[in-house]
Amino acid sequence: MLRSSVTRGPRRARSCAAIATIAAPLAIAALTALVPRAAAAQDGYAGCFIESYTPDGMPNYNCSNRNRRGPAPPPAPDVWGAIAVSGSTLMSFDSWNYKSEADASKAALARCTSDAHASDCKVVLTVADVCASLAISKPEKVYAIGGPGGAANFTDNNAILHCQRAGGHACAVSLSFCADGVRHVLNMPNSAPAGRRQ
């Protein structure tokens, strides 16, 4: 009589359990043999990343970014400027070359309230170490800020464009300054004209 080579029932379950009992310690032993090598390799490699592996499974570390830190924080601002506008008269006033944001804001606001004789003056922009512009379209009572930017001619064009996008049809630059009091201009050959094309 032929016997079947396939095991069934409880005998099969016992043989699978036996294999698992033997295989599990072998797998754990293999992993623990690798862990000390990997851990030892990582001890001196803080800030590195694994680039590839050698044929025997050891990592190749890339430490080119090890001593690099994030970008340096920006320097403290040297000079501040501000723009104040009266919404009722559309008169605008600027201040520049102040040592603090608060001083620049106070100066622009004081000039606006005294010279425009308006009680609705408000500071619409403060800048540090850069340029800014303000464009106004009086018929539509629209004003817009250009900047902050590194060159006054760029902030002028930006202010006109924002004024036109806000619905102004007679937009013109009413204020343009750089916080240090010097008008910084960047000459670009073949630059496009300011604002919309006519």
Higher pLDDT: 151 or 10? It is: 151
Dihedral over Cα of 12, 13, 17, 20: its sign: positive
Cβ neighbours around 77 below 10 Å, total = 15
Three-state SS at 110? helix
Give me the mean pLDDT over the 107-130 stretch. 93
Mean of all residue pLDDT scores within the chain: 79
Q: Which residue has the tokens 């930006």?
A: 158
Q: Which of 64-78, 101-115, 144-158 has the lowest mean pLDDT?
A: 64-78
pLDDT at 23 over 80: no
Provide the strand spans (E) within 138-184: 142-149, 172-178
pLDDT at 137 over 50: yes
Give me the mean pLDDT over the 96-100 stretch. 94
